[in-house]
Chains A and B, each alone.
Chain A
Amino acid sequence: MITVLFFAKLSEQLGERSLQVEASQAADTDQLFQYLTQYKAEWSSILNSQPCLKAVNQAMVNTNVTLKSGDEVAYFPPVTGG
């Protein structure tokens, strides 16, 4: 299983903080994103309508990354700390 986490505004809009996805559904982060856009009717427009950063195993990535069972993938808006 792959653990998917959502944070901040994105989490509120999607109505989920985390979910588990079968590793067979997502060989890489591009496939995972595709899977998520079809997870619920409104998710495609939410995920595609705003800047969405991703981290794999708690490190930011901006390219397509191969996934395996046990990985943690997080999606979140641009950060606003400090």
Chain B
Amino acid sequence: MISVQQQDFNQQVEHERLRCQSSIGAIVTFTGLVRDINDGQAVSDLSLEHYPGMTEKCLVDIVEKAKARWHIIASTVIHRVGQLSVTDQIVFVGIASQHRGDAFAACEFIMDYLKTEAPFWKKETMENGQTKWVDARESDQKTLSKWAE
């Protein structure tokens, strides 16, 4: 399941949705949150813009790439857009597999590619009221090298 949405998500509901078959022996989930500090500056709010249509296609592609590498029985990727506040949930990736190794690896792989390929952009509002588009991190690009085949 892939969803780009404004509304919040419920981890328990998503976890239960992934428990869909008796062959599943492991579920790994990742949740990204709005942090109160970025590059040393206090953050109060975040707005998330995306490219409707391309974003969903890109997330489908990333999950397909993961399915080609690991045995995935069920997967969920949810990414929120719009106005968010500190501590809000931004992104959820959940992977159900027979064994934990595949689930851990696929979950990390999907997050690493999502951060560098999926067309989302964050704009932060600081506590002093100033706004700032978040710059892409070179370290996120470097992280991808570990997945080179």
Q: Residues of A at under 8 Å CB distance from B? A: 5, 7-9, 12, 51, 55, 58-60, 74, 76-82
How many of chain B's residues touch chain A, expressed as a range? 20 to 34
Q: Residues of B at under 8 Å CB distance from A? A: 32, 48-51, 53-54, 57, 79, 90-91, 111, 114-123, 133-136
24 CB contacts below 8 A, A to B, read: A5-B51, A7-B121, A8-B121, A8-B123, A9-B133, A12-B133, A55-B51, A58-B57, A59-B54, A60-B117, A74-B51, A74-B119, A76-B51, A76-B119, A78-B135, A78-B136, A79-B116, A79-B119, A79-B136, A80-B115, A80-B121, A81-B48, A81-B120, A82-B32
By the criterion CB–CB under 8 Å, are A79 and B121 in contact? yes
Q: List residues of chain B with CB within 8 A of the CB of A8.
A: 49, 121, 123, 133
By the criterion CB–CB under 8 Å, are B117 and A82 in contact? no
Q: List residues of chain A with CB within 8 A of the CB of B53.
A: 58
